[in-house]
Structure 1
């Protein structure tokens, strides 16, 4: 929010200096971001008119001007491109200080010059240095420029939090300043402007709670060519708005002054009735800025005989705009629910002052006042005969401020000090709240513009910020703090990350927003959650997997001469839930590697990283929490057939649930991602890897173990994971260890089969095993493999 300091002081006549005013605004939560001082030293600068302008005899770019300074004609040599006879411009007389320059009588190329015609930048009024500051033709010649332009002044810009929508107006800010400085807000003339004619347009509301109030008024016979008064134009400029034309500027002025966005239509381009309804999918509208937009039912539309003529709460339409040829206008001011406007302008890639205010909430009682104020200004400056005010209201949908009880004891307990009752009442009343004292405190009714006041704590905050945070004593918290010891049965995310770092991985952090096309490449778009207001088209959906972003980072590193890259990421993925429910969030950890399996060294031959390298890394991650994993063939479309697996966490009985995927990327996907080398990756849920059994201390067995080495011929497609599970189930509790130490395919083994050699380590904690017990275990294993996997012992 940007506004003129002098304008604010008209609403709140405080004696505070500019420096003190800035301090107060920041202290009460309206943080001042910038103060631009305007026209502070303009003594000796007057309004002047160029009577004649002739070419300088010795310089092509200079003109010799005769200037009327108010009863005195001065000769000025000027090089401004817009200097011309009849122009009214500022004149710095001899002895005036303009910036670092003191104006003196001088000769320029042999011609005397007795002053300087000035640009806005030279006077510190504006940044425009393209030529002389052009003043209206009716500006009183000889008048001090400071008096004419209402200077000195300052343009103050404040940073507002979304809950303070009431401060998007000068008068809204004035209430806070008045409360903080002990002043009263100046009375505001809101006398209704009487009708001087009968012209009106019927208004209908068909958007329910989205548009519960709409006020309109026809004004006939206006002069649209009348220039915007200097005082109004300057206030708009200092509020960050460029003046356009009087009828447009009036609506902008009322918006800055009171906070109510308005719009003016050319009445002769309307048929009537005027309506407010939801737009229909496919309806088109040309906006004031010239762009053509296609609407859907998410937008509110202002209609004329069911023809869309404006985008409610955002921008008016081009076809019904006011121009210099306009003679009759239709003014509108409405209340739109914030939920009906939020995000609509951003969806069209635009931002407007009206949408900015409506999204945060505008006083529902303000539209009629705004219409009367705007009407009075138009009639006083541009003439015209206003018709009666037309108002359509759906009272049941208008927000009604509720009574809030503020307890004296609660206020003292939260703030830690006793604020006098009189001070509490002064603060609340100065802010425009209705206050009724009772035995335990106060009953308070906030004004309709204060959407942020709903509960007792809101009122306590108001008292605290106006009374002054510096006045609240600083005290250390008392009482004992209960320290919760971390559970040994749960492993933190940082511990999982540390395990991968220890194995040579670097942590990556990627956006949770991804390109929908990237998910399509990974066949991972099912259940994706689109964003209503994405930062860009490339960040339009929430990620359903970590790997698309992680592998993309892997490729960027590889493309920048990094021959060995190992990355991991811990983050959430998102999947759509049932209608009306929030997306399902799942925390996962993923890793990806490309390049050599080991860092460059001399002790061994280099080889590329493969499935088993990454499998070892994942198993070490699981081992750190005491988890046992099982790997089963995967059909994931992004995985290489035969070189990828689904990951399961299994219990001692071999039962478990799928927790993720591991494998080599499919060659087709690798080509689409422009990866020249083989890339391997895994992605698993974090939650199953955070649970571990409570560590238990047990003595090592004093009795010797027994090892039996067995070799089996099994079908080539029999996975070791399934064979291992069968062996562990068959061997039972005596199996202390199982090692696969050889795999053979070739001479002596039938085609389509493989030989697996393994060592079974058997041990009992309380005694030495007998040969009979060992033979029984081996027999059970042989039978189980024969029955479950068509395995035969190799002779």
Structure 2
């Protein structure tokens, strides 16, 4: 936001230089981005009047002007298209210095003497306008120094406001801050009620009071829009970055800059019956002031009459009802629109206006009537007219609630680190506009209507620190009784999981919780994702129900950037519809671990073959993670299906019979949709199941030798090896210490419908050396059980 230093000093004038004032504002939390003069450096430029302008005898585009400079009459050769008799313009006399150290000298242009130069705004550093001469008001005093006449010894202060400080989007808000910082009174603008001289009024109906709980308007008749805005008004607008349009629009813009209240003026003759504040209806469109015609969305709030929309509420007015040269009667509006409902609305149409910028952040909801009175008086002063009564329609139940906030005296010392005397606390809070009443241990504060950012005690503490001065806060060391938190060994730390995966060559990724709806459908078509009301972009329209879309998207970008080997993992939340568990109403948030592999199994090297990673590489990494909690035996893998994964290369991961994750290769259709060549392996696990560990327990080392027996059995292809191993453990007895699957064979010599599995069984007892008879008995139990339950055959017998 840009403000004029002179305008600010009309409200409050501290004894500070421009740089000191800018520094003070910055230290109060309103960062000043730039300070620059309102005009370039020039001297000896005066107000002059063109008495006569005739065609140059030897140049079609030049005129020879006779100019009254006050103390003398001079001849100027000028090429500006608007150079004509009777207008007053800036004259740089001979000897004048213009911006850029450009000195004016006597000259001859096509044989005609010229003593000086008539100036455009760009040549004086006032703006970029250089289409013609800068025309001054007809009452400008001829011969007066231009800098003094326009009060150009002024500076523009550009303030980079944070979104929470909407109360400072007007001179009044900045002046309130400066007055408090310097303990000076603030000269507020006159907003006295304007007495009605006519009875004309329009009815106002609020059909969407939750979006517009207050609407104020009045009729003003018999205005003369042909009258120009006074110079002081045009200059204040120009210095704040707004151009003069016409007197009525200039007044509404002036009130916006002065008080922070956006306003709009309609041509009364273009309105039909009354005003209706409602949402747009299907098929409605509106031609905006910028010339474009937009098709209105059904949930867009509009200002309408009984024929159709007139304006997009809080954003931009419509061209058909706008004020123009033929306008004689006005309807002036001032309204409050709820910030939550208007946020992002302008961006949905590709718009951003001064009005939407303020309404989205929150406008003082008690300001509308005062702003209307202020604008009415200015309009009557500038263009004349007769004002009707003020019509105010308000639904109190939908106005923002401002509950009191209690500030405890002890919290000041604890959180700010120093004592602040009660009188100083009350001075600061009162200066901010808060109503302050003393309590035994602090103060109860009522929050003013313009401060949407104060709702809890910490906000009041922030205000105290900000106004007192961050640079004045004492430096103190933090003191606290630190208690070392318990580290339960039955809970695996997330840090250990991250370190383990990093050690296995993975890199941690952090992706957005918002994903593209189409990408989400590829991975989780059976889940209706939770849509965002105000998405950052169309590619971030829904909450993710899986970590895989974000991780695979990262793989896609890496592959397209010629990365031959990608290994990523991410820990974060999945967002699912529902309200069970640790979720909010209508939303379940599930902590999860996602992993993804693409490309080579190993980094390129002379010692290993360059082969692509496969399902078992991912499964091995998953098993290593599951083993961190010392309860790998509780997890099992079983063939499964998943809409985004390859049939036959997908497994469900279960813990004690409950599914907690899935691992597999991406389906070729998904790879094709994402334009990824080569296999991509993925895994997703519930973190709660992964991090639940077993207490470590010591097992005494045996002094007796182990005995290993190998066995190869032929079974049907459909029998999972994991199921067989579970059966072997149960049948082998108490002496079995380790079971390994070390060979899988299908092919020559084996029935095409069957397969050979080879297991290594290791036996040991803690108290004795096992005899062959004991081990043989266990092996016979295993063989008999496999033959009976799985129709298994010993491979050497089958062959």
TM-score scaled by length of structure 1: 0.91
Deviations 1:153-206 (A, max 9, x none): 222222223332221111111111101012100143221111111111112233
8 A contact 1:524–1:544 mirrored in 2: no
Q: 448-457 vs 740-749, which deviates more?
A: 448-457
- Which position in structure 1 is the counterpart of 2:648? 642
- Secondary structure of the 1:76 match is strand
Structure 2: distance between partners of 1:347 and 1:397: 25
Residue 474 in 1 paired to residue 479 in 2? no
Higher alpha-carbon deviation: 689-698 or 411-420: 411-420
Secondary structure in 1 matching 2:256:
helix
Q: Which residue of 2 aligns with 1:185?
A: 186
Which residue in the other structure is 1:614 paired with?
618
> What displacement does 1:414 show?
4.5
Secondary structure at the aligned position of 1:173 is classed as helix
The CA distance in 1 between the partners of 2:734 and 2:138, in whole Å, is: 104
Deviations 1:481-517 (Å, cap 9, x if unpaired)?
Answer: 2232544444444433333333333444433332222
| Residues 339/563 of structure 1: CA separation in 2 closer, same or farther (3 Å cut) | closer
- Residue 101 of structure 2 is aligned to residue 101 of structure 1: yes
Residue 626 (1) aligns with residue 626 (2): no
Pairing of 1:136-535 with structure 2 (within 5 A): 136-280=137-281, 282-296=283-297, 298-305=299-306, 307-399=308-400, 401=402, 404=405, 406=407, 408=409, 410-412=411-413, 414-435=415-436, 444-484=445-485, 486-524=487-525, 526-535=527-536
Partner of residue 22, structure 1: 22
Task: Quote how far apart the aligned CAs of 1:9 are.
Answer: 1.1
1:563 and 2:564 matched: yes
- Deviates further, 85-94 or 759-768: 85-94
2:602 to 579, 598, 604: 598
The aligned counterpart of 1:704 is 705
Q: Is the 8 A contact 2:40 2:99 kept in 1?
A: no
The corresponding residue for 1:91 is 91
- Asked if residue 581 in structure 1 is aligned to residue 590 in structure 2, the reply is no
1:568 Cα deviation after fit: 3.4
Matched position secondary structure for 1:66: strand
Please, which moves more after superposition, 678-687 or 358-367?
678-687
Deviations 1:741-766 (Å, cap 9, x if unpaired)? 22222344223011111111122223
Query: 2:272·2:307 contact (CA, 8 Å) conserved in 1?
Result: no
| Residues 631-640 or 43-52, more deviating | 43-52
Say if 2:316 and 2:353, in contact at 8 Å, map to a contact too: yes
Checking the alignment, whether the CA contact within 8 Å between 1:196 and 1:387 is kept in structure 2 is yes
Equivalenced residues, count:
790
- Consecutive unaligned residues of structure 1, counting only runs of 5 or more, are none
**Given that residues 93 and 103 in structure 1 are in contact (C-alpha distance below 8 angstroms), is that contact kept between their aligned partners in structure 2?**
no
2:127 match: 126
Change (3 A) 1:692 1:301: same
Counterpart CA distance in 1 for 2:66 and 2:587 is 75
- Cα deviation for residue 437 of structure 1 reads 5.5
Aligned partners of 1:92 and 1:103 also within 8 Å = no
The whole-number CA distance in structure 2 between the counterparts of 1:447 and 1:605 is 72
Checking the alignment, whether the CA contact within 8 Å between 2:94 and 2:106 is kept in structure 1 is: no
- Whether the 8 Å contact between 2:218 and 2:332 is mirrored in structure 1 is yes
Q: CA RMSD in A?
A: 3.0
Secondary structure at 2:122's aligned position in 1? Answer: coil
Counterpart of 1:72?
72
| Kept after mapping to 2: 8 A contact 1:105/1:112 | no
8 Å Cα contact 2:90-2:134 kept in structure 1: yes
Choose 733-742 or 126-135, whichever is displaced more. Answer: 126-135
Shift of 1:374: 0.9
Relative to structure 1, the CA distance from residue 762 to residue 55 in structure 2 (aligned partners, 3 Å threshold; closer, same or farther) is farther
Q: CA deviation at 1:603?
A: 3.8
Retained in 1: the 8 A contact 2:51–2:68?
Answer: yes
Name the SS for the 2:124 alignment partner. Answer: coil
Residue 540 to residue 525, structure 1, CA distance change in 2 (3 Å):
farther
Deviations 1:435-488 (A, max 9, x none): 456776655444332333445544443333222233332211224322325444
**1:216 and 1:332 in contact (8 A); partners too:** yes
Where 1:495 maps in the other structure, the secondary structure is: helix
Q: Name the SS for the 1:624 alignment partner.
A: helix
Superposed CA deviations along residues 518-538 of structure 1, whole A, max 9, x for unmatched, are: 223335462322222222222
Shift of 1:340: 2.8
Secondary structure of the corresponding residue to residue 663 of structure 1 = strand
Q: CA deviation at 1:36?
A: 2.4
For the 8 Å contact 1:506–1:568, the answer to whether it is kept is yes
- Superposed CA deviations along residues 334-372 of structure 1, whole A, max 9, x for unmatched, are 223323322322333322222222223222221111111
Which whole-Å deviations, capped at 9, do the CAs of 1:228-276 have from their partners, x for residues lacking one? 2222122122223233222222111111111211111111111222222
Structure 1 CA distance, aligned partners of 2:447 and 2:608? 78
Q: In structure 2, what is the Cα distance between the partners aligned to 1:774 and 1:45?
A: 113
2:12 aligned residue:
12
SS of the aligned residue for 1:254 comes to helix
Distance in 2 of aligned mates of 1:104 and 1:346: 48
- Partner secondary structure for residue 44 of structure 1: strand
Q: Does the Cα contact within 8 Å between 1:146 and 1:152 map onto a contact in 2?
A: yes
Provide the secondary structure at the position in 1 that maps to 2:340.
helix
Return the offset for 1:227.
Answer: 2.1
Residue by residue, what CA displacement relative to the aligned partner does 1:300-339 show, whole Å, maximum 9, x if unpaired? 3323127332232222233322221111111111223323
Aligned CA distance change for structure 1 residues 490 and 244 (closer, same or farther; 3 Å): farther
Q: 1:522 to 1:121 in 2, by over 3 A?
A: same
Structure 2 match to 1:720: 721
